[in-house]
Structure 1
């Protein structure tokens, strides 16, 4: 604690990163009825389309959900465009659909307007929020509480990973997975994350020391890991005021590769089994331009620069859950780098915990 009795810089973010495995356990152990109700809604509706509504970090979780929906259910899934409703006043005609609304607070006005418009169009809504009494929870047909507890740091950490896990459970169940199977896989993620947090702490502290004067970072992933690249970039931007950008490795080849100069940090996420080779190919292209390559995921070397993250031998961890692991080092890096730069990642200048966009 500081002399004034206030928490020291980054104390909330540090604590909230560390408690993630415990919060995931709460989610799995306490939200089974809500998850099963969501799966029943899928069976009743038999949707032809999934629509994700989200903003900020939750939008990155929705991107992960979009890939899961395609791969597990074999149906189209899209990210909503709230401005269609709020700026243009357009009412959409939906095929047989379900909306998954993902929000930490459940109170962003444009998100709520998007959900209301979908309901007017006859679309049932599954909401995933961290507040059972939120407006979004009340609007939904099924509400899954993220069980993350109060998140006091402006930078979302435990709410983001809880969203990833909640989407995984909903869509696995919708695809016909059994609760026992999903619970086993979630436990595998909890065990793996505990090890990753321990290793990533010292890794991030060492790396932050060498990156403290960096003013730009490029992050790339593909498939499930694209959401990690975007969320990791957001964490660095909001806590460090760094010009960080997150991209699909395929898109990054068409332009962002041009921002790589000698010494530019390029963080490559390689957990997603789909598209992993293209991430490595982009990383090598960036290295050829003099970029400083940092690999997080399988085939990292677990040294001062890179961090290997993969399921331990015999683990029940589903590869689709590896994005929950690979964001943890970026959360740690954002924290450690901000402290190195004399900033407080819990209270970034000009930012608020709940951003009410319209």
Structure 2
């Protein structure tokens, strides 16, 4: 699929519209999708997989990393992120008996995702596709499928499909965790997630705050993003959004990894964006934040108000009372908006990044 034409739309119009759809998409998943996701989870839980492998590319790879945290923390299941070339290029024949392979893809059309999932099923795996296209080749070759119900996404930078994937994966893991327990009226983890659409609306309404941040960083030559725990996938996804829309080199690191060498490149010129999730991940990041302040870093914090007040700039998230594992669904939104606003400020069109296509045909 080719990039949308920037001559028929105002720059960024499509991306802006799809970001604005996110509260409605989250509601749709909770109202229309939660029961079906729980049913899929129960059928897979009955097979008692011993191990989980997650397969994805690009934005969906960051959603897969989020799922890895969920599965390891909430279920205690060992998880890994697959290297698809082991089967697609090297023709490896792993024994995947009793292994759950979850393949995540917005389009469900990338040939390497389809081929590796087909190979996994032939190797004995339980296969689950999580896509925004129930009629996709990936859904067809998988034993189970979850539709993230985001609706058509036309902008090349994925926004609403990413947060839809996160919520669908959260509900799936909650369904695995609750298998065999009495079914509640709201359907398992859907109750804890009910506040998400309203929180998302409040975050997305604060465009002026994000525009001020964008004006501050429109001339940045590079950015560093960091977090720990559930916030780490957010840092990676935000870096990807900044690179593919504004073309600013954006490097993402776990806070722990940042201290193992990359900290040396941090100065008082290039901004460091820290995603400080309210919970254990944020607590683990505090020593890193202290080191960044000691180095005089231009520190931008996405997190609670008290964390923002100790930074050079930031965006306070209204996540009081929201479980730590759900916060990534809203904490990415101001960073999506930042990527959008920086790109517009630099005179570029975030709807149509150069050299990119909606379906990336890697093999």
Range of TM-score over shorter length: over 0.9
2:324 pairs, out of 310, 319, 323, with 319
Q: Which residue of 2 aligns with 1:149?
A: 151
Q: Which residue of 1 aligns with 2:3?
A: none
1:137 aligns with 2:139: yes
**Deviation digits for residues 156-183 of structure 1 (CA, Å, limit 9, x no counterpart):** 1000010000000000110017552422
Q: 1 or 2 for the larger relative contact order (CA 8 Å, sep ≥6)? A: 2
1: distance between equivalents of 2:262 and 2:63? 22
1:355 pairs, out of 354, 357, 360, with 360
1:115 pairs, out of 114, 117, 123, with 117
Give the TM-score, by structure 1 length. 0.94
List alignment gaps of at least 5 residues for structure 1. none
1: distance between equivalents of 2:247 and 2:45? 45
| Aligned positions of 1:1-358 closer than 5 A | 6-176=8-178, 178=183, 180=186, 181-199=188-206, 201-271=207-277, 273-298=279-304, 299-301=306-308, 305-312=313-320, 315=321, 317-358=322-363
**Deviation digits for residues 1-46 of structure 1 (CA, Å, limit 9, x no counterpart):** xxx9711000111111111010111122222343123212232211
Shift of 1:129: 0.4
**Deviation digits for residues 123-152 of structure 1 (CA, Å, limit 9, x no counterpart):** 121111011110011112221111111111
Shift of 1:304: 8.4
Q: What is the SS of the residue equivalent to 1:262? A: coil
Are the equivalent residues in 1 in contact too, given 2:243–2:249 (CA < 8 A)?
yes
The farther-off stretch of 271-280 and 7-16 is: 271-280
**Deviation digits for residues 317-342 of structure 1 (CA, Å, limit 9, x no counterpart):** 32211001110011000000000000
1: distance between equivalents of 2:268 and 2:297? 5
Shift of 1:274: 2.6
2: distance between equivalents of 1:51 and 1:70? 12
Are the equivalent residues in 2 in contact too, given 1:263–1:290 (CA < 8 A)?
no
The farther-off stretch of 289-298 and 333-342 is: 289-298
The farther-off stretch of 38-47 and 67-76 is: 38-47
Shift of 1:83: 0.9
**Deviation digits for residues 178-214 of structure 1 (CA, Å, limit 9, x no counterpart):** 5524222222111211111112x12210011111110
1: distance between equivalents of 2:236 and 2:308? 23
2: distance between equivalents of 1:337 and 1:28? 32
List alignment gaps of at least 5 residues for structure 2. 1-5
Are the equivalent residues in 1 in contact too, given 2:34–2:190 (CA < 8 A)?
no
2: distance between equivalents of 1:17 and 1:300? 25
1: distance between equivalents of 2:24 and 2:83? 34
2: distance between equivalents of 1:272 and 1:46? 32
1: distance between equivalents of 2:297 and 2:109? 41
